[in-house]
Amino acid sequence: MIITDEQLDHVDAATFASATGWDPKPEGLCQGEVCVPAPGLRRDDGTVDIEAAAARLGMPVVRDDEHGLTAVGPGTITGRTLTTAAAPDPELIDRVGSSFRLSSLHGRKVLLHAWASY
Amino acid sequence: MTVALDVEPEHTYPWVDAASPTHPSLIDTRHVTGELFGFVNIPMAVWIDETGTIVRNAESATIERSPLRDMDIPDGLDERLTRMLTEVKAIPDDAAAYRAAIVDWARHGAESPYALTPDEVIERSRPRGDDEARAAACFELGQHLRDHGDADAAVAWWRQAHQLDPGNWTYKRQAWTLVTTPQDATENDLMQGPNDVYDGNWLDDVVASGGGENYAVRPKL
């Protein structure tokens, strides 16, 4: 997740959830059926305390001071890439640049095959 | 569905257009599917059932034996190309078994012995510690800077990503090909040889990691 200095204190819960897969809910930070308690993480104005969330989930925070950017890496609390078997739902684009969500294939078996031009 | 982990969408177009896919054919310019699912090389795949549950974690996913495996390496080839082909031929071939497993799952769903439980899927997913997570953050910083017109600034972050997570071949292959492909080339350079920008290159990194036999995340079938 990339955050500019201007955005740093203004990341809302939906943006955080979409970028990290961890949804800030009243019961904590949740991914699928897994929830990590995180009291005080969600501010009164609906924004998320990024540093606190990252610390709770074992997410590294990498700074690029020259460009005013913060990168938040994936969580490490389970020591595995997957915390849950619930498939994440990243936003991807197709050949003409239209947005596509994996969740649009719900109800069908999906073989998600990764390839590249290199 | 197919997902191309390519920071430059147009690099995928010739392949996509040639294939004329009838399935969803997508592009992941940020390599976010690598981070989320655990793709560290290509080709790899995950299986997802009708409820949106992963039933098979990320693993090498070839379904046809490459003709390179059965090709005799011609005498007189460039020495580096000869060594590269030798390593390519050493990459384990699970194509027939993996293809059969896909067909079995398509027919039998949860009853297929190849469909894993959620606990098995999580347990088999790639280990991720601070170095691997930090590498993902560094790669994303580089991609962001490159996407905003500062390819030079991206290099330092991608170099860090390579150092932190040397087992992530998509980070490395993606970066190498962008600096070793000639400007007028119509396809990305697959040799990805020594260059002045990054410490590594395909052949030397494969050899350093134990050779072609350790290159793929083999499916446990």
Supply the ipTM of this predicted assembly: 0.96
Decide if A62 touches B, using CB distance below 8 A: yes
Cβ neighbours of A90 in B, within 8 Å:
28, 32-33, 36
**Residues whose CB falls within 8 Å of the CB of residue B183, separated by 6 or more in sequence, listed in order:** none
CA angle B61, B126, A88 (to 5 degrees): 80
Residue B152, classified by CB atoms within 10 Å of its CB into exposed (0-12), middle (13-18) or buried (19+), is exposed
Which of A2, A81, A112 is nearest residue B140 as measured by Cβ atoms?
A: A2
What stretches of B37-163 adopt beta strand conformation (E)? 44-48, 54-60
Q: pLDDT value at position B5?
A: 98
| DSSP 8-state assignment for residue A86 | B
Going from the C-alpha of B195 to that of each of A77, B43, B159, B200, B204, the distances in angstroms are 37, 24, 13, 8, 12
Nearest CA among A60, A54, A64 for reference residue A11 = A54
Decide if A65 touches B, using CB distance below 8 A: no
pTM equals: 0.95
How do residues A76-100 score in pLDDT, each as one tens digit?
999 999 999 999 999 999 999 999 9
Tokens of A116: 């590249």
Decide if A64 touches B, using CB distance below 8 A: yes
Going from the C-alpha of A1 to that of each of A18, A63, B139, B170, the distances in angstroms are 9, 12, 11, 18
Judge: A118–B33 Cβ closer than 8 Å, yes or no: no
Mutation test of the interface with chain A: which of B134, B163, B187, choosing the one with the most A Cβ atoms within 10 A?
Answer: B134
Decide if B57 touches A, using CB distance below 8 A: yes
Distance separating alpha carbons of residues B28 and B153, to the nearest angstrom: 21
Residue B26, classified by CB atoms within 10 Å of its CB into exposed (0-12), middle (13-18) or buried (19+), is buried
Could you please report the per-residue DSSP string of B52-67? Answer: SBEEEEEEE---S--G
Decide if A73 touches B, using CB distance below 8 A: yes
> Which phi-psi region, left, alpha or beta, contains residue B189 (left: φ > 0; alpha: ψ -120 to 50)?
beta
Distance separating alpha carbons of residues A16 and A11, to the nearest angstrom: 7
Distance separating alpha carbons of residues A98 and A91, to the nearest angstrom: 10
How do residues A60-79 score in pLDDT, each as one tens digit?
999 999 999 999 999 999 99
CA angle B37, B165, B208 (to 5 degrees): 120
Per-residue pLDDT of chain B (221 residues; tens, 9 = 90+): 999 999 999 999 999 999 999 999 999 999 999 999 999 999 999 999 999 999 999 999 999 998 988 899 999 999 999 999 999 999 999 999 999 999 999 999 999 999 999 999 999 999 999 999 999 999 999 999 999 999 999 999 999 999 999 999 999 999 999 999 998 888 888 899 999 999 999 999 999 999 999 999 999 99
Q: Are B29 and A2 in contact (CB under 8 A)?
A: no
